[in-house]
A and B are shown apart, each in its own frame.
Chain A
Amino acid sequence: MDNGIGVIELVSLGGFSGGLFLKPIKAAMVTDIGGIGDESFNASAWRGLQRAQKELGSNVRYLESRNAADYTRNLTALGREGYDVVFAVGFLMEDALKRVAPRFPKVKFAIIDGQAPNLPNCLSINFNEQEGSFLVGALAGAMSKKGAVGFVGGMNVPLIKKFEYGYRAGVLQANSKARVLVGYTGNWDDVAKGRELALTQFNQGADIVYHAAGRCGLGVIQAAAQKGKGFYAVGVDSDQDHIAKGRVLTSMMKRVDNAVFDVCKRVSNGQFKNGAVVFGVKDGGVSLSPMRFTKSDVPAPVMKRIEQLTTMIKQGKIKPPYNDATFKQWRPV
């Protein structure tokens, strides 16, 4: 999971830098079955495109996929319409991209959270979700009064496992005796089930539950809000702290929007490079939210420790596990 070719700067340089060379581009994205309203990476990618529209004058558009058969069809449609850059959002589109990309060599394709085919017009954008999740785990482990925390995942797939293992390692780092209750809802839509699973984990002794479950996660936050004082949820992907003020301890932000915007920019000024990029804590691709409503709940030493761990991840001293094999080998530092 090392950084590949061409590390893209995630810090926005504003609309003006290099503005002289910017040409207005046509940029589009294909959502996976979660759709644009998934409160997760599809929505985030669309925010990135909207920003490109505002700041780069790009002509933007999205196509939604209702089922797996739509992937190829949508990607082909956008390729045929001659978009400059097309984002395939989600690892589910890997196979479709393999088929479509070679047919449109002039169109740049970028896949989020997946592996792009090895072609001059293809780029894969990945995130080290385990790094941010590790920090969440470290915070949760230190904050848990009951010595047990929970994790609610959407589907049991390698991408979500990265969140889970990073989190579990973080909890261990903070409190080697803490229990982690892990559960999956099996889908991304069922808000009621997310709530039920979180309530179950709260009843089983957890007092902080982290979710990586799309819309189901809103049920997790709701459960924490209903349980009240002493119970927390942790949000994911975007800053979800405001959804239940004071009951969302923090959010593990994954800046798909910044990555999408940056690729648009590179296409505009002709600096697009194929290959792979990986964003982590180091470049701000994943991070904890500013914790606007819960900062006062966290003791200063805990906060300091989190900052310390953040630095260690940045320096490469901690490499949080992201799958079963790396988790088994992982030891707290």
Chain B
Amino acid sequence: MRCRCAWANAHLKSNETTMNEILNLELLNAAIRNAAPLIFAALGGLLSERSGVVNIGLEGMMLMGAFVSAWIALLTGSLWLGLFGGVMAGAMLALIHAYATQQWRADHVISGVAVILLASGLTTYLFRRFIIPMEEAGKTSVVGVFPSFEAEWMESNPLGLLLKGQNWMVLFALFLPIAIHLIMKRSRWGLRLFAVGNDSQKARSMGVPVRALRYQGVLLSGALAGLAGVFLTLALTGQFRENMSAGKGFIALAALIFGRWTPWGAVGAALGFGFFEALQLQLQGKQVVAHALGADDGCLWCRWLQRLGNKETELLTGHELPTDLLLMLPYLLTVIAMIGLFGKMKPPSDLGNP
């Protein structure tokens, strides 16, 4: 019997697992959804870092946004108020970061770490203090999500399939980079922000209010990171859970750096990551196609992966690729793609300086 893994059967149309089935529009649909929070946070990071302030606190601002949006939505019953609250919460946390780095000239990285720790502790505390008792009293802590696009025409139209089941926040994530690009390249404010990040001394001598611009950049980055958190609760899961940002803020930061601090680069990296993440999740489901009732011979590829992943497992379930390897895929491929596609890194030259 032949190996029943996706790879071995890619060319067989009659087989249930074909490459076509893996590379479908649903995959792209999921990819956009995975990328959206990364896009928000990465573009937020861009505004901060272009002004010269390192912002590794994105993760914390995201978590804070997620918690506050869920909490407010739970209390008021309004998703829009939740959204507003989440964005403001991210901005407030960013204000602390701006104050520490600009007023007190704290090291940007240390302040960023403090922001993350603060957000993680505070959200956990508040969640257990206010939301868990609600759950224990039998009330729901699920606030629901923004309605998604569902229409007949979407079924047959490729564009429709991409948007099917998404909501307006996803669309917003796709349009935001255009806006940020125009602001950075065309507006007075954007150009000044750029100048401040590249050479604050020179900008100051030209009469640009360096500190004010940096405050604005950092605050906006907090608001966008907060929006990324809001996306997790009000667009996807409908609830807050401890530590639910799960490192997405750092991925967004990586996307920003891989994208060489440009909106398009950052969005490209975020979309790439989202795509590989979706691909990875699809492949995981494909691997255990059949049960191990009868002996199968694994294909070469499976055997090789198996050997890499788990030496003790025999080839009886040869179509089973090691999960850990698949989980690594998005990270690995994003790095490889970025190394290959883009040249030398060129951060804002005044980044991290007081």
A interface, CB within 8 angstroms of B: 35-39, 150, 156, 168, 172, 176, 179-184, 186-187, 189-193, 195-197, 199-201, 203-204, 206, 215, 218-219, 222, 226, 242-244, 324, 327-328, 331
Minimal beta-carbon separation of B134 from chain A (angstroms): 13
From A37, A200, A331, B127 is in contact (CB under 8 Å) with A37
B89 in the interface (beta carbon within 8 A): no
The reply on B299 being an interface residue by CB < 8 A is: no
A118 to B323 CA separation, bound complex (whole angstroms): 34
**Nearest CB in chain A to that of B287: its residue:** A182
Closest A residue, CB atoms, query B124: A37
Q: Which residues of A sit under 8 angstroms from B132, Cβ to Cβ?
A: 37
Query: CA A183 – CA B30 in complex, angstroms?
Result: 16
Interface: B232 (CB within 8 A): yes
User: For the complex, what is the distance from the CA of A219 to the CA of B242, rounded to whole Å?
Assistant: 13
Q: Is B239 interfacial (CB-CB < 8 Å)?
A: yes
Chain B residues touching A, majority SS: helix
* Chain A residue, CB-CB nearest to B237: A191
Contacts of A199 in B (CB 8 A): 30
CA distance A150 to B244 in the complex (A): 23
Report B285-331 residues with CB < 8 Å from chain A CB.
Answer: 285-293, 312-314, 316-317, 323-324, 327
Contact of B241 among A150, A172, A181, A215 (CB under 8 A): A215
Which of A150, A192, A196, A215 is the one whose CB lies under 8 Å from B278? Answer: A196
Beta-carbon contact of A203 and B246 below 8 Å:
no
- Chain B residues with CB under 8 Å of A203's CB are 26
Bound-state Cα–Cα, A44 to B230, Å: 29
Nearest Cβ on chain B to A260's Cβ, whole angstroms: 18
| A196 B33 Cβ-Cβ under 8 A | yes
How close is B236's CB to chain A, nearest CB, in angstroms? 5
Evaluate contact between A150 and B285: CB separation under 8 angstroms: yes
**Top 8 A-B residue pairs of the complex, sorted by shortest distance between their CB atoms:** A190-B246, A183-B284, A181-B285, A186-B327, A189-B246, A189-B243, A182-B288, A191-B237
Contacts of B292 in A (CB 8 A): 327-328
Tell me if A191 and B239 are in contact (CB < 8 A).
yes
Inter-chain contact B291/A172, CB cutoff 8 Å: yes
The answer, among A176, A184, A190, A244, for a CB contact under 8 Å with B284, is: A184
CB of B81 within 8 A of chain A?
no
Minimal beta-carbon separation of B105 from chain A (angstroms): 29
Taking the complex as formed, is B114 at the interface, i.e. its CB lies under 8 A from any CB of chain A?
Answer: no
Whether B281 pairs with A183 at a CB distance below 8 angstroms is: yes
What's the least CB distance linking A94 to chain B, in Å? 20
Of A180, A181, A184, A191, which is within 8 A of B232 by CB? Answer: A191
Shortest CB–CB separation between residue A262 and chain B, in angstroms?
Answer: 22
B222 at the interface (CB under 8 A from A): no
B244 touches A172 (CB 8 A): no
